[in-house]
Amino acid sequence: MTPERPTGEQHQAEVVELPVAPRATDIALDELELVYAFIYARVGNRADAEDLTQQVAMKAIPRLREGAPASAIRGYLFATARSVLGAFWSTRLGLSEAELREDLALASPPPPSPSVDRTETVQQILSQLSDNYRRVLELRFLHGYSLKEVAAEMHSTVGAIKVMQLRALRAAGKVHPPE
Amino acid sequence: MNGKPENRVEKIIAGLLRGRRLKLRGGDAEEKEAILAAARLAGARQGPQRMHPAFRKRLAEQLGNTAREGWVTRRTALVAGLGLAAGAASGVLLGRGGGPETVSTEQVIEPTDGRWIDVGALEDFREGQGSRVTAGGVGAYVFRTGAKVSAVSSICSHLPCELTWDAADSHLLCPCHPAKFTHDGKPAVRYSLSALSKVHVHVTDQGRVEVLGTA
């Protein structure tokens, strides 16, 4: 079992490493960043966003074909994300698919950058509310004020602000986000 | 007081603004529009989010495992996917066919100043059935196998909810989300979930079952 000696020519040959095509799972991991941002923007917290992103990965990855283009992978991941989010809200709040239509609306997958400006979207929603409703939600959610601080800022009581906050959210829930 | 819708919704908002997961109860469905709007506003306040590095790493490891193991055929994937979707909607869960991933290493509850609490005679525990016991501040499910016993925490490892024993399915079920665990605390779901904490338990010479709990 003597190892085969390389010939002079082989010894001097340069080894050229060909670029390795990215695996579908590698592409999917990057695309899952977008899915995570999409889900986070709808559930508003990291723990649920991680759980749901993981569910999307577990459901979608085994069905991805090697060699599939990134655009196809993204489309499939987002379709799965919509289904997973739909099940999440359906289980917790009994929401039907029709009620979630606007919230999950994404006719086509988002662009490669996760810069779908949700803040701008939220501002557009808030702009359709009355001054007081907009103010209470801006202070609470965008500026992080406590109820007490909002009450002081708006010269009101905590109880009244709590009721106003609920009414403002109900009104915001009726505003259809722009597509 | 907490029954008022403005209080219930405020509680949800306060949790979201502290970065906590959505904790919803049955009656919250009445305010679904407000809660959806609150979640959307909370999700937008810091702009687009990226995965936490630790989560991305965990996900990458899982995806790596998926690729290496060949995982499943298209058909079983389809069945599993449909099962998961159905499970999420109905609370019915998949079996352990695909092999669940456990996030963290198993933990054992070691109460400060713990003491052994008598929870009943061995013969009172039915073979293979989970029995809910309380040992001071420690809630546990005790399982008997012949003359031996084992115990796991009665609180879900994922959400702080009290598990229930499903005798027909021989699993511990979480009422708060679609998760279930085997008698030894291992998750029986396809997505990543920590195992239940173990609880110290033994049988005395007198045939009594004792759980390490608190005074």
SS (H, E, C) A34-93: HHHHHHHHHHCCHHHHHHHHHHHHHHHHHHCCCCCCHHHHHHHHHHHHHHHHHHHHHHHH
Which ipTM score applies to this complex? Answer: 0.74
Task: Provide the number of structural domains found in chain A.
Answer: 2
The reply to whether A142 and A92 lie within a common domain is: no
Put simply, whether B3 touches A (Cβ < 8 Å) is no
Domain that includes residue A162, residue range: 116-173
* Residues on chain B touching A91 (C-beta within 8 angstroms): 88-89, 91, 177-178
Specify the length of chain A in residues: 179
Residue B47, CB-side half-sphere exposure with 13 Å CA sphere: 4
**CA A145 to chain CA centroid, nearest Å:** 25
Q: What is the pLDDT of residue A5?
A: 45
- Report how far Cα A99 is from the mean position of its chain's Cα atoms: 19
Per-residue pLDDT tens over the stretch A55-68: 998 888 877 776 67
Whether A134 maps to a domain, the answer reads yes
- Pair A71, A43 in one domain: yes
Task: Give yes or no: residues A61 and A35 share one domain.
Answer: yes
**A141 and A83 both lie in a single domain:** no
Token duo for residue B100: 């669940």
Q: Which CATH number is A62's domain given?
A: 1.10.1740
Strand intervals (E) in chain B: 108-109, 115-121, 131-135, 138-145, 148-153, 164-166, 171-173, 180-181, 198-199, 201-203, 208-213
Phi, psi for B79 (deg, rounded to 5): -65, -45
- Determine the Cα–Cα distance for residues A57 and A27; give it in Å rounded to an integer: 12
Average pLDDT taken over every residue of chain B: 76
Indicate if A98 and A48 belong to the same structural domain.
yes
Say if CB A43 and CB B22 are below 8 A apart.
yes
Q: Which residues of B touch A45 (CB under 8 A)?
A: 15-16, 19-22, 39, 42-43
Residue B106 has pLDDT above 90, yes or no: no
pLDDT in tens, A15-49: 554 444 456 666 778 888 889 988 998 899 999 99
Residue A169 lies in a domain: yes
Contact B52 A50 (CB under 8 A): yes
Is residue A15 situated within a structural domain?
A: no
CATH number of the domain encompassing residue A152? 1.10.10.10
Chain B residues with CB-CB distance to A172 below 8 A:
34, 37, 40-41
> Does residue A76 sit in the same domain as residue A145?
no
Whether residue A120 lies inside any domain: the answer is yes
Q: Measured between alpha carbons, how far apart are the two ends of chain A, in Å?
A: 70
pLDDT of amino acid B2: 55
Within 13 Å and on the Cβ side, how many CA atoms surround B177? 22
What sign results for the dihedral spanned by CA atoms A44, A49, A51, A56?
A: positive
* Tens-place pLDDT, residues B31-67: 888 898 898 888 887 777 888 888 888 888 877 765 5
Listed range (A100-109, A140-149, B68-77, B87-96) with the worst mean pLDDT: B87-96
Contact B183, B177 (CB under 8 A): no
| pLDDT, tens digit (0-9, with 9 covering 90-100), for A109-168 | 454 444 445 556 677 788 899 999 999 999 998 888 889 999 999 999 999 999 999 999
Instruction: Find the mean pLDDT for residues B173-196.
Output: 78
